[in-house]
Amino acid sequence: MTFKILLPVLVGLLLYFLGKSHARRSGAPVAVVRPVPPTMLERVHLSFRLTAGLLVGTTLLAAAWWMVEAWQTAHTPVVVRVINVQTGAATSYQALQGQVQGRTFHTLDGRQVRLADVERMEVGE
């Protein structure tokens, strides 16, 4: 996996340095750049880029916050009470909230519990 990320970076760096060395060998004159005040159109483009950057940054922060919140919620311990409707007997288990799915859940001690048709489940803090 690391190689898949590292290879394009290395190829990009190689192409960059090859391009720089080729430009030096071709003898292209070096341009003298004098500072010019930005025009109104350039200011508008800069403000659009800044706004787009802020929107992307805000979106990434919101997505990261949502992922952390979902992870924390899934790893919150809850008490699951399984109640037999016919006999009225209730059994309590502790499970992580993310492990409770439909009529099946995994307890903190590693057991998998599947509810029968005559059983009901209550999930509480």
Query: What is the spatial distance between Cα 35 and Cα 46, in angstroms, rounded to a whole number?
Result: 17
pLDDT at 100: 94
Percentage of the residues of the chain whose pLDDT score is greater than 70 = 91
Predicted pLDDT at 24 = 65
DSSP assigned state of 27: T
Q: What mean pLDDT do residues 90-114 have?
A: 94
| Mean pLDDT computed over 39-56 | 91
What single string gives the DSSP state of each residue in 37-64?
Answer: PPPHHHHHHHHHHHHHHHHHHHHHHHHH
Torsion of Cα atoms, 33 then 36 then 39 then 42, to 10°:
40
Q: In this predicted structure, what is the pLDDT of residue 66?
A: 95
* pLDDT level of residue 104 (50, 70, 90 thresholds): very high
d(CA 71, CA 75): 6
CB 122 within 8 A of CB 80: yes
Does residue 28 register a pLDDT over 70? Answer: no
90 and 82 Cβ atoms separated by less than 8 Å: yes
Torsion of CA 15, 21, 25, 30, to 10 degrees: 110
